[in-house]
A = this chain, B = another copy of it.
Amino acid sequence: MLSGVQITRTAVLGLGLIGGSLLLRLAKMQASAIGYDADPGTRAAVADRLGEHAVASDLAAAIEGADLVVLAVPLPAVPVVLSALAEVGYRGLLTDVTSVKDPVRALVSTELAGARWVGGHPMAGKESSGFGVADEDLLNGCAWALCLDDEVLLDDWLAVARWALAVGGRVTPLTSEEHDTAVARISHLPHVVAAALTIGAADGPVGPAALGLGAGSFRDATRVAATRVALTAAMCGGNALALAVEVDALIERLTSARQVLTDPEALSDWLESARAIRANWPPPGAKASVRLTRDELLFLGRGGGYLIEIHESSADVIQPEA
């Protein structure tokens, strides 16, 4: 039997794309779980799909008996849910699926002081949102950042990590700050760029012809510009500090690239440095083992590795090959 903190019942608060997919997944696993959403229509849709027992009619009922609460609401709704949890006196484990971690960490420390929060971010999504597009397989195999910040107890982290693995994630240990820089680069910046490319393509007299000729590279480069604005604005705005640094770095890179457009050799060298990275992405991994210490876990995550199974005192992991 595993030692440490056990999770026996999960309450999912917010049943949109991610929360809904999570609840569907937990139901499929026949895990003890219940969901709650502030929207009555969503609650009705969930009850239709999973039965009345799967959805609570209020937040207090949802968290009754739960030893893990998952915040699956958009960032702007996090404070009000944290207040509600404080009001009903919730003291158990808490995780979230929000796309930025430092702002959630700050909110938890003010709204639910002393909470046993382990920030999480499953890297899964779609352009569309809501329970209607939730999918029990959405989180299967997805990268799942799980924050091992200084104030997080290792046993709490390991309990949530085991749970995230059971749900289907590949768990990457990082600090909240490291997470926010990483996702600024690989998620928020691509969203900003997609919007800028879309607006630029449509601009001026050549706009209609440009949009008419757009093919694969335009389609993929701008796909996420069609995302619901509230989601993109919340995640970009919520991570504004880290994102601004990455926007600046991108502007610098574009400025340099512009200088070499007429220099075939320099242009090729620059493109090759990108090709070598992208053609090797995702980097092939090799199985290894780490001890369950804070240092070894964070070293793994910082190197781009992730956990696949946690044992009593070690974890099986995948590390990118050098």
A5 → chain B closest CB, angstroms: 25
- Given the complex of chains A and B, what is the CA–CA distance between A205 and B177 in angstroms? 13
A135 → chain B closest CB, angstroms: 13
Residue of B at shortest CB range from A145?
B213
Residue A226 at the chain B interface, CB threshold 8 Å: yes
Contact A257 B303 (CB under 8 A): no
Known: A196-B257, A200-B246; 11 extra A-B contacts, CB below 8 A, are: A172-B212, A179-B209, A187-B217, A196-B250, A199-B274, A208-B303, A222-B274, A225-B271, A226-B275, A244-B261, A251-B251
Q: A217: which B residues are within 8 A, CB to CB?
A: 125, 186-187, 190-191, 194, 223-224
A182 → chain B closest CB, angstroms: 4
Which 7 residue pairs spanning A and B have beta carbons closest together?
A: A212-B304, A208-B304, A195-B274, A190-B221, A123-B215, A240-B261, A225-B278
Task: Name the prevailing secondary structure of the A interface residues.
Answer: helix
Residue A44 at the chain B interface, CB threshold 8 Å: no
Residue A85 at the chain B interface, CB threshold 8 Å: no
Residue A7 at the chain B interface, CB threshold 8 Å: no
Residue of B at shortest CB range from A144?
B213
Residue A83 at the chain B interface, CB threshold 8 Å: no
Q: A32: which B residues are within 8 A, CB to CB?
A: none
Q: A221 with B193: in contact, given A271-B233, A273-B199 (CB under 8 Å)?
A: yes
Which stretch, A10-18, A58-66, A279-287, A289-297, touches the partner chain B?
A: A279-287
Q: Which listed residue (B185, B197, B278) contacts A193, Cβ 8 A? A: B197
Q: Which listed residue (B199, B208, B215) contacts A253, Cβ 8 A? A: B199
Q: A251: which B residues are within 8 A, CB to CB?
A: 251, 254-255
Interface string of A204-239 (1 = CB under 8 A from B): 011011111111111011111111111011001100
Q: A150: which B residues are within 8 A, CB to CB?
A: none
Q: A254 with B196: in contact, given A143-B213, A230-B268 (CB under 8 Å)?
A: yes
- Given the complex of chains A and B, what is the CA–CA distance between A192 and B253 in angstroms? 10
- Given the complex of chains A and B, what is the CA–CA distance between A247 and B193 in angstroms? 12
Of residues 170 through 190 on chain A, the ones whose CB sits less than 8 Å from some CB of chain B are 172, 174, 178-179, 181-183, 185-187, 189-190
